Chain A
Amino acid sequence: MSEKSARTKLVRSLQGGVSRRDVLKMLGVSAFGTVLASCAPKSTPTSAPASPTEKPTSPPSPTEAPTDAPAPTEAPAGPTGEVKYMFLGDIMDVYEEYAGKFQEANPELTVTIDSLPFADFETKIRTMFAAKNPPDVFWLYFNNIFEFVDNDILLPLDEFIARDNFPIEDFAKANVDMFTVDGHIYGIPRESSTLVLFWSEKAFADAGIEPPDDSWDWEGKFLEAAKKLTVESDDPTQRRFGFNAPVGAGNNWAAMPIVWSFGGDIVSADKTRATVNDPATIQGYQWLADLINVHKVAPSAGSLAGQSIGEMFLNGQIGMYVSGKWDVQVLRDTMAELGIETAFDVAPFPTGPAGRMTRTSGAAYAIPKDAENPEGAWELIKWWASYDVVEKLALTGGMFPAYLPVLNSDSFIQPGQPPEHAQVFVDSLEFARPEAVFGGYSELTNLVEAGMDPVYAGDQTAEEALNEVQRKAESLFS
């Protein structure tokens, strides 16, 4: 009997039987496990973009507008609550400092700052809009203005401007126009830019040639200087390229002004058709490719990938390249880091057959239509656009404000620090124009870049390649 009952017990326990305690234990494990499961890594290939493909990177240098810093919080007397600011994260400390000051002045508002690098920012901001949870103030890049306005997600700022007598005329007109659609202003310009010619004082001194001036033209004096600067050598440290041409993936935006100065463009002025295979466009791109393959003054596309272009430039291994004010701070930092004495300087873009052109771009502070605190957002924007804050931003060296009082002051020009001719940045605004952005511009640019790869490699003529690109581009306008 006892044997049987013992066996019964054994079998019963083997069959299992779930006591209340066991159920409670399992619930606990389940809850914990669910939390763990949510942290499990995805099996899909994840990308960790080192640099966004779309991000405007100057051929040698780091990306434009580094990530934004956290937004300071501001609390004006009227509006209350939280103001969320999202931007790229550059010059974070200035924003933090002035956030604090703003908080002191306006204890009723709190500001939360969020920032991400460019490519992540572009994706994140759109997801936030899609989730109907946008920030109150954000950094709006001019490329996106039509996309955002078409989707009706921006708040027009005209009423705010009129109500508070905001001095919109103190901002560069070109930049205000960038953010004006159908007569409504959708952003207060934060920054502008111009592309200029950076030249290495060391390289020019070594080659014994005169620095660039505004008598230069691309096909004549520029090419001559580039040739004199170029030194071939088997030893990479002795080699020098006269010019780091803006070619390769992600660099078409920097090549555009050169193409413009030949009279070409990739899209018509009214944005109704692609003009990729217009004779002037072909001529411009062919000239660029010839720098690499015929005159051999420029390195082939991507062959300097992974190098520090800034270092090479400062060491005199690159004579000239195309970039903007954002690079100034980086170059200064590199000089300090490496103890380089001889500096760099800038010169205006040389003239082309169709004249002198360069490219401008811009970004602004904008308010989403779905923002929770538009009043607070507006107060924050006024603070960000005020003289003190803009001056502090400009003093860091890499910021090109669209606010004219600061732009025209020494805070921007910064005499005594390289580049000596910083006034060139401001003067270049006179002949600068933005790219003709439209819905399919990104795709068009990708088509052109991919199509030009064999041309820059010397395997095809620009005419053949761009005819093919034109054919593919038709579908973007249908």
Chain B
Amino acid sequence: MVKRRTADERSISTDEAASLAVAPGESARPMRRRRLSRRTIRENVAGYLFLLPWLAGFLAWLAIPMGVSIYLSFTRYNLFKPPVWQGLVNYRELFLDELVLKSLANTSYYTFIGVPIYTVVALGVAVLLNQKVRGISIFRTIYYLPAIVPAVAGTLIWMWIFNPDFGLANMLLKGLGLPPQRWLYDIQQAKAVLIFMSIWGMGPTMVLFLAALQNVPKELTEAAYIDGANAWQRFVHVTFPMISPVTFLNMINGFIASFQIFTPAYIATSGGPANATLFYVLYLFRVAIQYLDFGFAAAMAWLLFFIILVLTLLQIYLSRRWVYYEVAPD
């Protein structure tokens, strides 16, 4: 009776709700242990039932395959015979395999050069699209459109454009009086061409920037203007810090996605010429599907996981320097 009145007369705050649902044995504050009320149990059950669809999918398609993958990375497995335990052999071989190192180098080149370029271009386009010009929504649509072209179709179009004999790119160069290039068939140029190709899909990134730009409070930019800041100074000192959380998000997403680049290399160059575009996931795919060495491929996958994890943690750590959140941390 006493408890009931307490629950009725006070509005429930988050803290108190949490303490009401406190598990037996734990207590948020010094109280005598008490059984969970039936209502609390029902609420917990309801919560778990809501989680169930996601949980089932997560277990079946993420957690359990990840577990199997870790196991396989310590075995030799070719699909026909049962996996044979090998201990750390695969991981040791990872660092001895020339192509693993080459593919890591290729992927790093693509990521560390491509992502900054990509992010800067997306930001630049977002700034342009943030103006109150007539027909701006048409422009926004146009710049977003390439992102919904399927990756394979887009890659085929670009292969056509960059064809050394018949492609538009070389025709353009010829028109300007410049020598034709081999583009995707040139060992030095192939990765750069792939980076260029990736930029046209910057739609979603640009949209995020656009949203962030529109949320920059006008008062701040006006105040800066009044104080005598020019456009560039306003951008650097007001706009950019205000959108820095989204910049940070886009960079992390960009790094994670770029490190897993696969489709353009698979379609356009098959990892060539001379393994210049042999990216990490493409090589992983080849090892698994062509050479049927699933153990080694699993080890490669986990190495990639740790590389991306370390990279992301590093970015998070560095973000304290330059990312500005308006909301004070709790």
A interface with B by C-beta (< 8 Å): 4, 7-8, 11-12, 14-18, 22-23, 26-27, 29-30, 32-34, 36-38, 40, 42, 44-50, 53-54, 123, 126-127, 129-130, 147-148, 151, 153, 236, 248-250, 299-307, 440, 442-443, 446, 449-451, 453-454, 457, 459, 472
Contacts and interface: CB of A to CB of B under 8 A. Distances in A.
Nearest to A301: B185
B45 A23 contact: yes
Given A130-B79, A151-B78, A299 B165 contact: yes
B78 A33 contact: no
Contacts of B295: none
Contacts of B289: 123
- Report whether over half of chain B's contact residues are helix, strand or loop; otherwise say mixed: helix
Kindly state the interface size class of chain B when it binds its partner.
Answer: 35 or more
A130 B274 contact: no
Interface of B: 7-8, 11-12, 39, 42-43, 45-46, 49-50, 52-54, 56-57, 60-61, 78-81, 98, 150-152, 156, 159-160, 163-166, 182, 184-187, 260-263, 266-267, 269-275, 278, 281, 285-286, 289-292
B252 to A, nearest CB: 14
Given A7-B8, A442-B291, A249 B43 contact: no
Given A30-B50, A34-B57, A306-B159, A453 B187 contact: yes
Nearest to B41: A18
Contacts of B79: 126-127, 129-130
A45 B262 contact: yes
Given A17-B42, A303-B164, A303-B165, A33 B52 contact: yes
A6 B7 CA distance: 14
Contacts of B49: 23, 26-27, 30
Contacts of A33: 52-54
B312 to A, nearest CB: 15
Given A34-B57, A47-B263, A303-B164, A151 B81 contact: yes
A300 B164 contact: yes
Nearest to A459: B187
B152 A50 contact: yes
Nearest to B20: A15
Nearest to A440: B291
A129 B78 CA distance: 11
Nearest to B301: A44
B185 A26 contact: no
B80 to A, nearest CB: 4
Given A17-B39, A302-B185, A44 B290 contact: no
B122 to A, nearest CB: 20
29 contacts: A11-B11, A15-B7, A17-B42, A18-B43, A34-B52, A34-B56, A37-B54, A40-B57, A44-B260, A45-B281, A48-B152, A49-B266, A129-B79, A129-B80, A148-B80, A153-B80, A249-B269, A249-B271, A300-B164, A303-B164, A442-B290, A443-B290, A443-B291, A446-B290, A450-B272, A453-B273, A457-B273, A459-B187, A472-B98
Contacts of A54: 290
Contacts of A248: 272
B42 A450 contact: no
Given A15-B7, A30-B50, A457 B160 contact: no
B274 A47 contact: no
B166 A26 contact: no
B286 A446 contact: yes
Contacts of A46: 263
A14 B159 CA distance: 60
B255 to A, nearest CB: 15
Contacts of A34: 52-53, 56-57
A248 B152 CA distance: 20
